[in-house]
Amino acid sequence: MSLEEAMVKAVVEAITRASIYLPPDVKQALQRAYEEETSPAAKAQLQAILKNIELAEKLKAPICQDTGLITFYVRVGARFPAIRNIEDALIKATREATKSVPLRPNSVDPISGRKPGDNTGRYVPIVIWDGVNSERDTLEITVVPKGGGSEYVTTFNIIPPGKGLEGVKELVLDTVIKAGAMPCPPVIIGVGIGGTADFAMYLAKKAATVRKIGTKHPDPTIAKFEEDLLRMVNELGIGAMGMGGKASTALAVHVDYAYRHPATYAVAIAFQCWAARRATVTIKPDGSYFVEQ
Amino acid sequence: MPEYRLRTPLSEEDVRKLRVGDIVYLSGIIYTARDAAHKRILEYLKEGKTLPFDLKDGAIFHCGPVAIKRDDKWAIVAAGPTTSTRMEMYEYDVIEKLGVRMIIGKGGMGSRTAEACKKYGAVYVTFTGGAGVLAAQSIKRVLEVYWLDLGIPEAVWVFEVEDFGPLVVAIDSTGRNLTEEVVREAIARKERLLSKT
């Protein structure tokens, strides 16, 4: 098997794992929400969610019928021998996984309405080149099958810089209320502060979809802000699936930031539904690989 | 929470007795329809064309399934609900003109749908979003699929279901709207939370 063929195989396996099995941190957080939730309507929803996770694993079926727009975060080791073949391998793997998992054929041309039927198209799958490691010879790809419901309520905002973190807090609460039941709570909320518009959204999306639940932000001010926000978001009482409940609106609030321009204070707020699917595959130069969740 | 087991075709009496928060398990026949199918249904009605299916006393499911053809027969792998808000702009007319009794979705719907539910005797119920495999367990057979030219997610799939649920009544025929009530309470709580800090 050539390295390129091995890359396709490895990525198909990562997409498959991500689509069928939830990462352990997400499963634990959902179990905890189920135990802590006191509202019967929200608890019933969480019970259905846990049952669904079990069934998906047993039947090897995708957890949710919305198998998402396939998104790849790619970190390249400078000494990885097949850099030029990466993009091709990602497209091939997406096509193959669409048939083998199977995934729902989601990609649509926004202009003509054309549906290729294989989850590819202009700029799709979405490939985010997420850094080069000058020391390594491995390729690391994180697959995120990003569902549509939680994209629907994701927002980008510029707030007056004078409002600062207090402004961010109010905006997050307002956005969570406006989102209501739509993003399939319990959600993971990603908040990206500062930078440019696109970079704030990149930080928010990564915080919502890639960062593991239970990890702490290295900056103690941000770590405390995340904890406070999570408590407040849950006190809003939207609950699992918007049925009302005090312990299942959000599983986590993840914040990240970049230094900002003096005139702007960008705040991107991204939502990830409870089916927070992700898997990371590491591929070595000899074509061997391992998948982690 | 009272629980009901209902079967299609649904009578006006069946749905008028349901109240916000009640649980329903539905058996019989349901039709999937998302944005594109709703749009086409209303285009057909406007042009006076006959629909290939009859939704009177029936149930619409906001859903785009994962479906595969095995031995020339469709099999449903996952079929949870999609975000219902997108259909808000069509649903009043669909309930009024076709006599639909039950809309199944997730995420809540707005005041126009609630008005139609009250006026014509219908309910909006929600199934757990994302629980696509669990939903597929209650789908016994695919009876038919219409408008596949819209693509697999947007086509109208006709499912025979057995005890499909738990479905939670989110809009009843008295005008109550559960997800809107939850949001109104959340707004009040937000004011209190922010005044504390």
Chain segment B134-148, per-residue pLDDT in tens: 999 999 999 999 999
Which residue in A57, A98, A82, A11 sits closest to A290, CA to CA? A11
pLDDT at B12 over 90: yes
Q: Specify the pLDDT at position A257.
A: 98
Q: CA separation (Å) from B176 to B4, B113, B124?
A: 19, 11, 10
Q: Which uninterrupted H or E stretch holds B4?
A: strand B3-7
Interface of A with B in 35-74 (CB under 8 A): 40-41, 44-45, 48-49, 51-52, 55-56, 59, 61-67
What is the chain B residue with the closest CA to A108? Answer: B151
Q: Residue A14: how many CA atoms within 13 Å on its side-chain side?
A: 32
Mean pLDDT of B65-92: 94
Mutate to test the interface with B, among A66, A248, A272 (most CBs of B within 10 A): A66
Domains of chain B, earliest start first:
3-196 (3.20.130.10)
Burial of B73 (C-beta count, 10 Å sphere; 0-12/13-18/19+): exposed
Of how many residues is chain A composed?
293
Residues of B in contact with A236 (CB under 8 A): 186, 189-190, 193
Residues 6+ apart with CB under 8 A from A55: A61, B133, B134, B137
Which residue in B124, B143, B152, B155 sits closest to B37, CA to CA? B155
Beta carbons of B78 and A61 less than 8 Å apart = yes
Mean pLDDT of A229-250: 97
User: And the tokens for B106?
Assistant: 């997730």
Which residue in A119, A25, A117, A26 sits closest to A67, CA to CA? A119
Tell me the per-residue pLDDT of A88-124, one tens digit each, with 9 for 90 and over: 999 999 999 999 999 999 999 999 999 999 999 999 9
Mean pLDDT of B141-157: 96
Annotated active-site positions of B, please? 38
Q: Which of B77, B128, B178 sits opposite A61 (nearest CB)?
A: B77
DSSP labels for B60-127? EE----EEEEETTEEEEEE-PPPBGGGGHHHHHHHHHHH---EEEEBS---HHHHHHHHHHT-EEEE-
pLDDT at A235 over 90: yes
Interface of A with B in 177-236 (CB under 8 A): 177, 180-182, 184, 232, 235-236
Q: Does A165 touch chain B (CB under 8 A)?
A: no
Tell me the per-residue pLDDT of A118-153, one tens digit each, with 9 for 90 and over: 999 999 999 999 999 999 999 999 999 999 989 999
The answer to whether A206 and A270 are in contact (CB under 8 A) is no
Domain segments of chain A: what residues?
3-21+63-147+277-292, 149-272
- Residue A218 CB coordination number (10 Å): 7
Query: pLDDT band for position B197 (50/70/90)?
Result: low
* Residue B8 to chain A, least CA–CA distance (Å): 23
Beta bridge partners of B23: B3, B168
Q: CA separation (Å) from B77 to A62, B104, B148, B155?
A: 8, 19, 17, 16
For chain A, the distance separating the N- and C-terminal CA atoms, rounded to the nearest angstrom, is 25
Beta bridge partners of A146: A69
Mean pLDDT of A216-228: 97
Is the overall model pTM greater than 0.90, yes or no?
Answer: yes
Residues 6+ apart with CB under 8 A from B139: B76, B79, B159, B160, B161, B164
Integer Cα distance of B150 and B154 in angstroms: 5
ipTM greater than 0.95: no
Query: pLDDT band for position A28 (50/70/90)?
Result: very high
Query: pLDDT band for position B1 (50/70/90)?
Result: confident
- Residue A76 CB coordination number (10 Å): 18
- Residue A134 CB coordination number (10 Å): 7
Q: Which of A105, A106, A177 sits opposite B187 (nearest CB)?
A: A177
- The mean of the pLDDT values for chain A is 97
Residues 6+ apart with CB under 8 A from A140: A74, A75, A76, A77, A280, A281, A282, A283
Residues 6+ apart with CB under 8 A from A285: A3, A79, A80, A81, A137, A138
Integer Cα distance of B157 and B26 in angstroms: 17
Q: Specify the pLDDT at position B196.
A: 73
Residues of B in contact with A62 (CB under 8 A): 66, 77-78, 132-133
Tell me the per-residue pLDDT of A178-211, one tens digit each, with 9 for 90 and over: 999 999 999 999 999 999 999 999 999 999 999 9
Q: How many A-B residue pairs are in contact by the CB < 8 A criterion?
A: 167
Interface of A with B in 79-118 (CB under 8 A): 102-106, 108, 115, 117
- CATH 2.70.98 fits domain A3-21+63-147+277-292: no
The answer to whether B166 and A145 are in contact (CB under 8 A) is no
Tell me the per-residue pLDDT of B107-123, one tens digit each, with 9 for 90 and over: 999 999 999 999 999 99
The answer to whether A239 and B182 are in contact (CB under 8 A) is yes
* Residue A54 to chain B, least CA–CA distance (Å): 9
